Structure 1
Amino acid sequence: MTIKTGIVGAAGFAGIELVRLLGEHPSFEVGVVTSDSLAGTPVSDLYPALDGHTDLVFEKHGVDALEGCDAVFLAVPHTAAMSQVPALLEAGISVFDLSADYRLKDAAVYKRWYATEHTSPELLEKAAFGLPELFASELARAAAEREAGAAALVACAGCYPTATSLAAYPAIHAGLVDGTVIVDAVSGVTGAGKKATERTHFCFANESIEAYGVGTHRHTPEIEQILGLEGKVVFTPHLAPLNRGILSTVYLPLSAEHAGETSLEAIRDLYTEFYAEDAFVRVLPLGTMPKTGSVAGSNACHIGLALSAAGDMLIAVGAIDNLCKGAAGQAVQCANIVFGLPETTGLTAPALPV
């Protein structure tokens, strides 16, 4: 099966990661990559690492350029996606959106956090949430819709919510947690996008680490929605001087029933069983904590677990590559499911050893 594919916003970091991954995929055939500012420029001129791997040339945005595609990946900023999604779906094209535009199920919540009125709120319920390990049923529904002849819409989970939720969900799902969950997460600079700012310029980001969006970061409601903890998540992101990777440390207060009573071995067994069928999640041995270098370039998520000295707080740490499992790789994983392929197809390469 050849799945004709387009990538909108292919010049950005997540977009070019899609080009890299889909260029080696056995079923998805990328025929269109768009960027208004770079129209007419060969992809390999902008990213020489892809020289010899692709002869694609950037085209201008527009539904017309994407006619004939079976699937389109949107690697564009929030608000830009919802200006394109309705027309793509109307044209019968399944959409995998890497932006935040269709992740939140409540249009009022979207407006509050993104300061923008949602222009197609009727599609929020249609959108399957793109975090396969936790929302398999929604992706199965999207796959059934596509199989029945309707275009599917998948809202791929954000990078911080992916690392955080995969680390926290099994304990919450099992009823071990009671109270406010604290999240301290660190991201590489590519998470801020390709355009340099005073925060992400090399001279300011190098040899420095800072918290940002403290108490106001837009991924907070997404994490709360995934975990079912509305108003009970305090999320603080940090920028670190590395290219790729997210490390999310999640502090989960154990309920009175489990504090001091549930062993770390039992919790690890719970996590191992929960993710037993998930090829991309690895629960590390006790005493071992994840690091971003161990997942860079891969679609993997590594999880480490520890208990506080008093035994009343579970510390769950998740590491992912923000551009792969946190963006492009996750989108490909979702697309594999929607198009009836094994979800690992094209994503089995290991992380970079060094």
Structure 2
Amino acid sequence: MVFKAGVVGAAGFAGVELVRRIIEHPSFELSIITSDSDAGQSLASVYPAFAGITDIAFSRHDDPALEGLDVAFLAVPHTASLAVTPRLIAAGVTVIDLSADYRLKDPDLYEKWYGVPHTSTELLAQAAFGLPELAAGELQQAAQLHAQGKAALVACAGCYPTASSLAAFPAVHAGIVEGVINVHAVSGVTGAGKKPSSRTHYCHASQGAEAYGVGTHRHTPEIEQILSAPGRVMFVPHLVPMNRGILSTVSMQVASAASDFTLQVAHQLYADFYAASQFVTVLPLGSQPHTSSVAGTNNAHIGVGYRAETRSLVVTCAIDNLGKGAADQAIQCANIVFGLSEGEGLSSVALPV
């Protein structure tokens, strides 16, 4: 069975990555792509990589044909999904939302960090969190809803929260971490979106690196929600001169009660936790992840380190911010909701060079 799919916000970096995946997906048929600024233009004229592949053209975000889809992927900025998702859900369309609008379960927390009130709080309880390795139960509930012929809503995890939470969760979940969870993460420039700014201008970004949003970044409460660690995350993101990729380094203090904790114990904890995961690989002891090793994939590579003298557990995670951090993870979630193989339509081999 083939399902009709559309991408709202298809001209952005995450949106066009979704388009690339859906075009090659055996169970999804790309029916609609939207972009208000590019409406009427062919996809290939905006992104020549699609020349000879498809003649699909952009329509506007309010295209009524969206309501005839089986699934709509929303690659739009925060608050934009609030204006679109309720209408699509009411029309029976399953929504896979890459924005932040339905990730935070507490609407007051959303308003605090995003500066606007949440206008469809009734959907927050229904929204499944889209990080399959850590929220499998919620996605299975969404799959059951879809199997009953009802529209499901998936709020895909953000790029930084995906990498950071995959790195932190096994240790936090095991109850061996005390105090502040320090997250230092670097991202490629595509993580800032397609619209240029002074920070992402080539001349500014190409020869330097900088921290930003220190202690104020909007992904902080999302990481805390995933880890069930309110008020314990210090998140420091950095912009570095590369196109795509995230490397998150999470430093955690191991509780003194875990007296027999060693590097080998830490590594085994992570290896066991992700043993059944198709997309998360815990690297051998002594190895650390590299962003280029996961480029163009839904893969996450994890490295584990520990210093006994300071009882410091340091876990690193590399993902592609446009892959596991956005489009590929959205496809993974959609596969689960539609009862397909979790990895259908997703490449398992990174770009080798």
Normalising by the smaller structure, the TM-score range is over 0.9
Offset, 1:90: 0.4
Percent identity (aligned) = 60
* Rounded Cα–Cα distance in structure 1 between residues aligned with 2:42 and 2:230: 45
Look up the SS of the partner of 2:317 in the other structure. Answer: strand
The residue that corresponds to 2:21 in the other structure is 21
Contact 1:212 1:238 in 2 (8 A): yes
Q: Deviations over 1:79-126 (max 9, x none)?
A: 000111000000000000000000000000000000000000111111
Equivalent position of 1:165 in the other structure: 165
| Separation (CA, whole Å) in 2 of partners of 1:198 and 1:114 | 21
Q: Which amino acid aligns with 1:74?
A: L
Instruction: Tell me the CA shift for residue 55 of structure 1.
Output: 1.6
Q: Deviations over 1:179-229 (max 9, x none)?
A: 110000000000000011000010110110000001100000000000011
Query: 1:264 and 2:283 equivalent?
Result: no
Structural mapping, 1:97-112, within 5 Å: 97-112=97-112
Residue type at the aligned position of 2:352? P
The match for 1:219 is 219
CA distance in 2, matches of 1:15, 1:220: 24
Q: Distance in 2 between matches of 1:331 and 1:311?
A: 39
Alpha-carbon deviation of 1:63?
5.0
**Any conservation in 1 of the 2:183–2:236 contact (CA below 8 Å)?**
yes
Contact 1:81–1:99 (8 Å) recurs in 2: yes
Equivalent residue for 1:278? 277
Q: How does 1:1-80 map to 2 (within 5 A)?
A: 1-62=1-62, 64-80=64-80
Q: Which residue of 1 aligns with 2:327?
A: 328
Q: 1:258 and 1:54 mapped to 2: Cα distance?
A: 57
Q: CA RMSD in A?
A: 0.9
Aligned length: 353
The answer to whether the 8 A contact 1:63-1:87 is kept is no
The one-letter amino acid of 1:184's match is: H
Moved over 6 A (4+): none
Deviation of the 1:65 alpha carbon: 2.6
TM-superposed deviation, 1:309: 5.0
Indicate conservation of the 8 Å contact 2:188/2:244, yes or no: yes
SS in structure 1 of the partner of residue 249 of structure 2: strand
Determine the C-alpha separation between the residues in 2 that align with 1:270 and 1:24.
Answer: 36
Write the distance in 1 (CA, Å) between the matches of 2:67 and 2:110: 30
- Structure 2: give runs of 5+ residues left out of the alignment: none
1:295 aligns with: 294
Q: Which residue matches 1:247? A: 247
User: 1:249, 1:266 → 2: CA distance?
Assistant: 19
SS in 2 for 1:134: coil
TM-score with structure 2 setting the length: 0.99
CA distance in 1, matches of 2:124, 2:65: 25
Cα deviation for residue 258 of structure 1 reads 2.1
- Establish whether residue 190 from structure 1 lines up as the match of residue 212 from structure 2: no
Single out whichever of 49-58 and 245-254 deviates more from structure 2.
49-58
SS at match of 2:77: coil
Amino acid in the other structure paired with 1:337: I
Paired AA for residue 16 in structure 1: V
Range moving further from structure 2, 305-314 or 223-232: 305-314
- CA distance, structure 2, for counterparts of residue 133 and residue 63 of structure 1: 34
Distance 1:243 1:65 in 2: 34
Partner of 1:348: 347
